[in-house]
Structure 1
Amino acid sequence: MISEPELVGGGGFPDPVGPPLPHPPPPAAGERPAAPRARRPWPWALGGAVVASAVWAGGLYAYGPDGGPDLGGYRTDRDPCQAARLDGLAAAFGPKGVSADEPLKVDHPALFEWSCSVTLASKPIMYTLHISYDLHRVTDPGPEFEAVREDPQLLGGGERISGVGEVAYFGGAYEENSLTVLDGQAVLSMSLRPTDGFDEDTDSPVEPPRLDPAAMRTYLVEDMRQLMTALKG
């Protein structure tokens, strides 16, 4: 069993209290006692004040007069699947079709989310494009965005690319034909997936073709730029 360490006079450690300090002599007759000296602030207190001032100043820079972060013009009244023209993807996979499923919309004071899917009518394999749009109204999404992208178990990974948003990743652990973008307070993603194809002539399923990563990256970046502009307009 581990015993508690002895703090005073034991184990070779000096007594932290030490000898008593001498008392100052009493003031002479008719002499006023000296005023006590002001204590100097502890270094950690000074450091905390400096940090607090820096954070406060940074808050003034990052936040607008209404107390909330600058949303960069992003709006919440436009369906991203309707706003996205998808010129690049449509040229390669066929025109944009109807929504593949019911859109999901969450409007919370701290976070706005809208996710939806559309079809691309290519033959013989039809593709589905999933679009998600998150607008963070209170907190900075940057640290969480980077943390997710660094962990493949959180659908992260991928190739960091430039030319769209502040930070963007192409591909990932489970979505090789996808693009995820951080732009200020907004996080947007597009991911393209093949649907189950069936060849009626051979009465057998059709294996989806292997897509060219360079071409996919070009299409997704082009269409994401247009969508970001539309959501700000």
Structure 2
Amino acid sequence: MNREEFLKIIKINIDKNDYHLTLVNGGQHPEFSYSIGLTEKLGFELIIAGGYISIENNELIFRYIYNELVSGKTVDSEFYLSKNDGFYLGNVDTSWSKELMLGVYDYYNEDIIKAYQIIPKERTLDIPLMSEIKKADNPIWKWLDMDWNLNVSKNSYAITDIDSLKGKTITELTRWEDNVWEMFSGPGPDFQEEEIRIVSLGTILAIDPSLCKILKLKIGEGLWRENRNFDWQEW
């Protein structure tokens, strides 16, 4: 798809839905998504980085917050999809927007674009605070600036639980396919569907570097440990 065709699709989506939503599946880094087209309506764009659950959930969050903003809510408001599902908006430094929101800059052909980050009140470790200047050595997002150098596919991913993404120690894991691992902070069957997350392998290794041993596992092999102070045992 050339640039003209891409810009045409964006314009069609803006006319139809008030904005175009770009979803970027990073492979080695967390997924992120951002709007194009809100600048004329609100004076800024919106971005979600990390904390990804599903395409449907992602679109629902954008639409809900957009509707609230056009209905009169301000950027310093809190936004609740439900009682326990709240969000707020944070400023986005240009060091983040110019790297993650290329489509916005391309569409408007501007050097400065105002953007706000949609941040869950219950933030997981894969969600950066984009008001802070982006650092190239950010362990979770470093693959935006570095070439993948792990001895597995850069599209490898882990099926895990939300507590692990908040920093709770992973205690059991298994490699099921060449590029697929399961790893949980407790017995896997005990977790409900809404607690399960799928993240890039680069993300989970950055959150807990003690997991690096998993790269040597063969398909079907597993490990367990009591906690982070104990050595891994064969499953």
Q: TM-score range by the shorter chain?
A: under 0.3
Structure-1-length-normalised TM-score = 0.24
For the pair shown, the structure with the greater C-alpha radius of gyration is 1
TM-score (norm 2): 0.24
